[in-house]
Structure 1
């Protein structure tokens, strides 16, 4: 069915603030009602683009902080095409122009960004150096600055009628790349009148956020004055559906045109020839088994090595997760240019038993440990059960506890745990692994959950402070990954994959970094 909108759609309601706890049954009813309200189902792939069409999305992750730009909700906004930053990042790690058309490093601490001329915010006001300075000063001045901008000592000043100067306390060779972070988006001055910035009608992207219903649904309208050209879509409706089976059902029923993050079992229904278009790509996300090196038993490298040898990573990816992930041989995988393409090491259960015996653990004295994880990512409890069985074969008894991550994190940081199964994006903010390698593995790293400390590793990571060349930085990333593997700093198990299935959509290209979904070229088609 062709879904066209009138030239001047009626005004939508303003957002309702606050959240309410609901039972699972009420939540399902609300989701179904919202999907049904989005309109009747569309046809399959193919057909001509529909002028002034509406795109309906079953989104995987909902905003959890009222669309606050200094939180991970900023990723939802950039995905939906509402907000933009001074720069953008390509998948190969290169930085490209966005709201800034060029930039120059004036000295080791200072960069000058020249703004793209003629750009306006959704409220009609111009993008000026003063507006950029206001936006960046806000985000670095919050109590807990976003990861990409934290600890930089960032200072922003207007520099003439068309530029800003951005300086840091220490030399930062990748500052332009950092400013591509979804947390560094530029909002109109009118956004900053309250306690927190309002993202409604204050961005610069191809779509203008006009309403939201808590963490359930968001509606966006086309921004006709978009600097990158008039968008093809007139409206986007995103319904946030946490249950992957429900997202698949909504797509199958024709209630949405795009569904994110479907389980492998559902993907089989949307194969070639089914009238749907599936796109899958490796994601820069690895599920690792963290091992607490600050205390027994994993302070002993023999026991860490025994655990690594016990695990069949290919079986975890292909059998436990039904092929929805890729087996890992090290921290980085095929999603990035510097990732390893080697097959994972084959399991060596006998070798694992021998190492355990050397450490004083045998059939009469099995090693008993606690294995923690969390349920937000559905694959983690499944992997925990499979890992438990593999460890048992080698002589390690693991007691599984699945709980809330927020409750577990203080224990992890304090080193009061044994093993933890973690899904971690190593390129959460920018396509450069330096931040993750520093925060997760250096001696004073803020997120060093393995409690690993190696002066040699820290010296290697310190070279990134003065390395500006992209290829040279990537060589450091490779060397760091090899060192972590040799020291058995946790055990990378599988690399995640991003998948999106569409129906009756033209111009969609999957972003494995999950930062872009709605683009000016995206359109619905006549089925």
Structure 2
């Protein structure tokens, strides 16, 4: 595929406008009134649906939870449970949408909003979107809340589009983690949550927006991509997310399937633990970077289903690099290792199978590293059990897929959490005062162009320091049958919306 076409696809995907092989949520038949749907979801809850963790994405995808603000397709803040907002220094006032009720029948009130925001801001490890900003909330009359931060925050409304800041009913808060069953405001109401196996939702007949088309949906959490494909093939589910590229070839429109594929602001990077040898030596990290053929990874290992990465940000965003990645340089890599004293490098390369491209990439990277004398032993396991060790620096190399606009549709949050010295998700163990100084203006800069200039400079600095080597920019896929109204969300925040319906 020509590079120009790829870039256009990537940009369109971020806007949620591109769908491949069958179009955007094309129907396969006649809508079934009050239909039921079964879905094989790619990721399971790992923390008991805790709203201060990434499980909040699961709750949002179930169509249950909503936030004060939502992110528009252009990355700007749009009304949701709040209809408008104003800023006065470090204080923002949000006017609430009238007529909203929670799934338990109680009304949306300023007190309920304050309870939700106060809880999530007060947990021991606040979510990335609001961590370290000193967020407090207070009632402001009968229909508004005031949210204050320690310093003026130029992107606070965007922060409050994070799924972690969803507003739940007062009944959700009984002393422990909030209960998400029957306490949201979304178009679908959770009626059953069976751990990591499945969740069942039913239509919220009192929803403030358009009437949901579905009467009921069962979401099965199937972490094995082959099993998701098998469930779809057998007719056990109508939607399967994240299928292997080989499986996509059989689910064609001619066979009655709707196959969607969209580029997303997601990068697969090779994390190198800089807190211990051998990757505490920049020459070794640079050697690894030179050994990897990123174009081959995207176009051969992944059969063209991804884009080769030249830096952290790709063509899916305005500030991302449009340049091709550097060509591999095996001799240059060997020279760098020689300069580092020719260390005998035998390391573990770990990853996880939830995203089917990762094991494939791990095998390809292993072969490329072997060419420069690096022995990388592959270890594949579920991400959840591996995360504590990653955050503690107990690993060698780790292949990670990361959406850099997931928490907030602004890259500043990811840059701070993943790469600053005090970053909460700094898996690389990277710490550069110069890099932190580069990010510092993000705390006061609201101009999008200036923020994007900083993002570009930050990506260049990470590239120069050989930090978290970006390999490919991923694309998301899902296949449906007997379903309409379903569109992949590049930001992974929506799955069950009012438009999704069963067909026959």
For the pair 1:69 / 2:51, whether they are aligned, the reply is yes
Contact 1:251–1:258 (Cα < 8 Å) also in 2: yes
Relative distance call for 1:498 and 1:460 in structure 2 (3 A) is same
For the pair 1:52 / 2:34, whether they are aligned, the reply is yes
Relative distance call for 1:198 and 1:290 in structure 2 (3 A) is closer
Matches within 5 A, 1:390-401: 390-401=368-379
1:447 CA drift (Å): 2.9
Task: Supply the distance in 2 between the matched residues of 1:239 and 1:264 (Cα, whole angstroms).
Answer: 21
**Residue in structure 1 matched with residue 456 of structure 2 by the alignment:** 478
For the pair 1:444 / 2:426, whether they are aligned, the reply is no
Contact 1:137–1:155 (Cα < 8 Å) also in 2: yes
Relative distance call for 1:299 and 1:237 in structure 2 (3 A) is closer
Contact 1:91–1:336 (Cα < 8 Å) also in 2: no
Task: Supply the distance in 2 between the matched residues of 1:344 and 1:271 (Cα, whole angstroms).
Answer: 32
Instruction: Give CA-to-partner distance per residue, 1:397-432, whole Å, 9 cap, x none.
Output: 334444665665565555565433333232231111
Secondary structure, in 3 states, of the residue corresponding to 2:78? strand
Contact 1:221–1:234 (Cα < 8 Å) also in 2: yes
Contact 1:284–1:427 (Cα < 8 Å) also in 2: yes
Instruction: Give CA-to-partner distance per residue, 1:57-107, whole Å, 9 cap, x none.
Output: 111112222222222221111111111010011243211110000011112
Relative distance call for 1:344 and 1:504 in structure 2 (3 A) is same
Task: Supply the distance in 2 between the matched residues of 1:350 and 1:360 (Cα, whole angstroms).
Answer: 15
For the pair 1:525 / 2:498, whether they are aligned, the reply is no
Q: 2:187 pairs with 202, 206, 227, which one?
A: 206
Secondary structure, in 3 states, of the residue corresponding to 1:269? coil
Task: Supply the distance in 2 between the matched residues of 1:348 and 1:173 (Cα, whole angstroms).
Answer: 43
**Residue in structure 2 matched with residue 490 of structure 1 by the alignment:** 468
Contact 1:371–1:384 (Cα < 8 Å) also in 2: no
Relative distance call for 1:52 and 1:408 in structure 2 (3 A) is closer
Matches within 5 A, 1:114-513: 114-361=95-342, 367-377=344-354, 378-402=356-380, 412-413=390-391, 415=393, 417-513=395-491
- More off after superposition, 310-319 vs 513-522: 310-319
Contact 2:407–2:413 (Cα < 8 Å) also in 1: no
- More off after superposition, 441-450 vs 185-194: 441-450
**Residue in structure 2 matched with residue 41 of structure 1 by the alignment:** none
Secondary structure, in 3 states, of the residue corresponding to 1:388? helix
1:339 CA drift (Å): 2.3
Secondary structure, in 3 states, of the residue corresponding to 1:148? coil
Q: 1:86 pairs with 50, 68, 80, which one?
A: 68
Task: Supply the distance in 2 between the matched residues of 1:226 and 1:407 (Cα, whole angstroms).
Answer: 37
Task: Supply the distance in 1 between the matched residues of 2:184 and 2:494 (Cα, whole angstroms).
Answer: 15
Relative distance call for 1:206 and 1:310 in structure 2 (3 A) is same
- How many pairs are equivalent? 478
Secondary structure, in 3 states, of the residue corresponding to 1:273? helix
- More off after superposition, 249-258 vs 392-401: 392-401
Task: Supply the distance in 1 between the matched residues of 2:497 and 2:378 (Cα, whole angstroms).
Answer: 43
Task: Supply the distance in 1 between the matched residues of 2:458 and 2:485 (Cα, whole angstroms).
Answer: 38
Contact 1:261–1:499 (Cα < 8 Å) also in 2: yes
**Residue in structure 2 matched with residue 29 of structure 1 by the alignment:** none
Relative distance call for 1:258 and 1:313 in structure 2 (3 A) is same
1:194 CA drift (Å): 4.9
- More off after superposition, 401-410 vs 122-131: 401-410
1:518 CA drift (Å): 1.1
Task: Supply the distance in 2 between the matched residues of 1:303 and 1:194 (Cα, whole angstroms).
Answer: 50
**Residue in structure 2 matched with residue 30 of structure 1 by the alignment:** none
Relative distance call for 1:337 and 1:360 in structure 2 (3 A) is same
**Residue in structure 2 matched with residue 35 of structure 1 by the alignment:** none
Task: Supply the distance in 1 between the matched residues of 2:293 and 2:484 (Cα, whole angstroms).
Answer: 40
Q: 1:100 pairs with 82, 86, 89, which one?
A: 82
Relative distance call for 1:269 and 1:95 in structure 2 (3 A) is same
Contact 2:212–2:497 (Cα < 8 Å) also in 1: yes
Task: Supply the distance in 1 between the matched residues of 2:122 and 2:213 (Cα, whole angstroms).
Answer: 37
Task: Supply the distance in 2 between the matched residues of 1:279 and 1:92 (Cα, whole angstroms).
Answer: 21
Relative distance call for 1:506 and 1:245 in structure 2 (3 A) is same
**Structure 2 unaligned spans of 5+:** 1-25
Secondary structure, in 3 states, of the residue corresponding to 1:314? helix
**Structure 1 unaligned spans of 5+:** 1-43
The CA RMSD measured in Å over matched residues stands at: 2.2
**Residue in structure 2 matched with residue 34 of structure 1 by the alignment:** none
Superposition TM-score, scaled by structure 2 size: 0.89
1:461 CA drift (Å): 0.4
